[in-house]
Amino acid sequence: MERTLRRVQKLLDTSERVLILLHQYPDGDTIASSLALAVYLKRAQKQVDLAVKGEVPEIFRFLPHTGWIKSDFLLGDYDLIVAVDCGDANRTGYPHRLGQVGRSRPLINIDHHYHNNLHKIARVNLVDESVSAAAEIIWRLLLHMEAKIDSLLATYILAGIYYDTGGFQHSNVTAKTLQIAAECLRLGGRIGLVSSRISATKSPAALKLWGRALKKMRVKPDGVVMTYLTRVDLQKCHACADDAAGLVNLICAVPNSRLAILFLQMPDGKIKVSLRTESDGVDVSKLARLFGGGGHKKAAGFSLEDAEDIALLNRRGK
């Protein structure tokens, strides 16, 4: 890992124009981790842009500088591309553009997901599947580069870890995770702000949406818990897709559940499928990869575009 960190630092030091890519349907980890790296690079007088396919969910806009994140870019404007928490070229939302990267400019892949096609085109893969969040890897990188970690950077790291561990409740929490969180608190990380905005804040529209999902929830004898939400549900609740964030973790809390599944129809018609488990005997990432998705052993997802499935969900939603 130390050798890889040195390679990453060399690329960052020798590049003047850096693009940081977040994964589409961005969550708290990819947003907070990317912003932490961006702040460090801007302080080092680098020209830095951040891009994501889609928009930053309202729930994460409390994090400073989310306004830096834009929805488009030109590869020719940058010396270096850094993908944070993406795992797969398709998950960036820009797979065709990234196909040009290997030939024209270096790509750094910073991630904690299972190896996939980003590894093939990246100049350097800073990947550790044993950590709870990409934020843990960014933390190690910042320490390696002797960054001055203040309250802002500490809060970003806390936010990334907090989100990907479900508020330190998931089984991916390790002693190292808690050590990093404790150090971030010592350095001024605002855990109260993070926890209140990510876990304790729900709009009336979100609560109504969760109610519809819970009403539809089914618990099967084999321990599979599932529910679904359609565009009709979103419309009736005056909600957006972001309001469903965290719902799959809630249904995973059903006693004796082995697998939780949430089917969420996005505004563009695609169905986002989220998978969660707390069972050591279940690896949801294997199921997600069968459908072109990815993730971790305990948390993964994929997308469906089958017209018949979407029509069926819409009929049931009505």
Task: Render pLDDT for 273-293 as a digit per residue (tens, 0 to 9).
Answer: 999 998 888 999 888 888 877
pLDDT at 258 over 70: yes
pLDDT above 80 for 87: no
- Whether residues 75 and 99 fall in one domain: yes
Band of pLDDT at residue 317, cut at 50, 70 and 90: very low
CATH of the domain at 163: 3.90.1640.10
Q: Are residues 13 and 100 in the same domain?
A: yes
- For β-strands 271-276 and 259-265, DSSP reports them as antiparallel
Among 138, 170, 198, the domain boundary falls at 198
pLDDT digits (tens, 9 = 90+) for 150-184: 999 999 999 999 998 888 888 789 999 999 999 99
pLDDT tens column, 4-35: 999 999 999 999 999 999 998 888 999 999 99
Q: Are residues 265 and 186 in the same domain?
A: no
314 vs 120, more confident:
120
Q: Is the pLDDT of residue 102 over 70?
A: no
Residues 81, 221, single domain; the answer is no
Q: Are 182 and 297 found together in one domain?
A: no
Q: Are residues 37 and 119 in the same domain?
A: yes
Q: Dump pLDDT digits (tens) for 41-59.
A: 999 999 999 999 888 988 8
- 37 shares a domain with 97: yes
**205-215 b/e with 16+ CB inside 10 Å = b?**
ebebbbebbee
For residue 25, give the nearest of 303, 311, 317, 305 by alpha carbon.
303
Q: Among candidates 229, 59, 262, 36, which has minimal Cα distance to 142?
A: 36
Among 170, 198, 226, residue at a domain's last position: 198
What is the Cα–Cα distance from 229 to 128, expressed in whole angstroms?
A: 33
The pLDDT assigned to 315 comes to: 52
Q: Residue 116 pLDDT > 80, yes or no?
A: no
Domain count, the chain: 2
Domain that holds residue 110: 2-198
CATH of the domain at 286: 3.10.310.30
Question: Does 108 lie in the same domain as 135?
Answer: yes
The pLDDT score that the predictor gives to residue 212 is 96
Residue 312 sits in the same domain as residue 279: yes
Q: What is the mean pLDDT of residues 119-129?
A: 89
Are 167 and 250 contained in the same domain? no
Given pLDDT bands bounded at 50, 70 and 90, which one contains residue 122? confident
